């Protein structure tokens, strides 16, 4: 598994999770205020765009943008067009759940979700980096995602899977893994901030992966920019 090369942006996330919730059926919006400590590392960023994937044209499109100013940026999370929302089973990373086993419960199988990315671009509109909240402590990573849902839904239970993949760079040797994912998610109609916690340890020749989806707040997150685009 290729590790992302990350450039740390220490920041303060001022907006609370609840401020991204609905303000009425036609006014799902909230302001996300981000203050970046190491802004000089991104001097080539002119603005940050909120992007969503449009399957009808097979490309990402801009929803809104925020000026890169005074060591940070502000993005408005406004109501997402239903055309950019897809069923949970086919929504794509990071929310896709293809198979629902008996150990898992989804209160609304017809819920549609939309996922967005925060993209830093230069003066010519060229993509420079993606920004996202992240923390890595004691071998466990936590990452926050911003997802829009068209109706309330709760997800609980767990899934288990195993198999092989290639994670050793320069080697074609398959790596065996076993993964358990637990779910404790409660999304309300509108914007939601949620978290994926992930850890992995090796037991003999097998990589044991433990993952959790949760809407319980995670403290200590910092924003990062991905160099691998």
Q: What is the pLDDT of residues 1-56, one digit of tens each?
A: 333 333 333 333 333 333 344 332 333 458 888 876 677 788 889 999 999 988 88
Could you tell me if residue 178 is inside a domain? yes
Residue 10 pLDDT: 30
Could you tell me if residue 47 is inside a domain? yes
Q: Which distant-in-sequence residues (6+ apart) come within 8 Å of 213 by Cβ?
A: 155, 181, 182, 183, 184, 185, 194, 195, 196
Could you tell me if residue 49 is inside a domain? yes
Quickly state the pLDDT bin for 99 (edges 50, 70, 90). Answer: confident
Could you tell me if residue 128 is inside a domain? yes
Strand partners, 168: none
State the residue for tokens 């979700």: 113
123/33 Cα distance (integer angstroms): 21
Could you tell me if residue 1 is inside a domain? no
- Please state the rounded mean pLDDT for residues 185-214: 94
Could you tell me if residue 212 is inside a domain? yes
| Number of domains within the chain | 1
Instruction: Tell me the whole-structure pTM to 2 decimals.
Output: 0.80
Expressed as residue numbers, the domain containing 73 is 6-226
**Distance, first Cα to last Cα, the chain:** 16
């Amino acid at each position: 598994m290729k590790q992302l090369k990350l450039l740390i942006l220490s920041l303060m996330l001022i907006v609370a999770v609840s401020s991204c919730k609905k303000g009425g059926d036609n006014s799902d919006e909230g302001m996300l205020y981000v203050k970046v400590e190491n802004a000089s590392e991104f001097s080539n960023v002119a603005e940050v765009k909120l992007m969503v994937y449009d399957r009808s044209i097979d490309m990402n499109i801009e929803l809104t943008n925020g000026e890169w100013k005074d060591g940070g940026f502000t993005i408005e999370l406004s109501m997402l067009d239903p055309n950019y929302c897809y069923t949970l089973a086919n929504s794509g990373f990071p929310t896709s759940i293809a198979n629902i086993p008996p150990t898992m419960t989804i209160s609304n199988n017809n819920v549609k979700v939309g996922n967005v990315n925060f993209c830093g671009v230069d003066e010519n509109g060229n993509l420079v980096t993606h920004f996202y909240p992240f923390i890595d402590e004691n071998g466990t990573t936590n990452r926050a995602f911003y997802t829009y849902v068209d109706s309330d839904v709760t997800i609980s239970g767990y899934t288990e899977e195993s198999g092989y993949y290639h994670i050793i760079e320069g080697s074609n040797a398959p790596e065996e893994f076993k993964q358990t994912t637990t779910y404790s998610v409660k999304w309300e109609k509108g914007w939601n901030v949620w978290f994926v916690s992930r850890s992995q340890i090796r037991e003999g020749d097998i990589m044991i992966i433990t993952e959790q989806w949760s809407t319980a707040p995670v403290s200590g997150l910092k924003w990062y920019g991905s160099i691998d685009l």
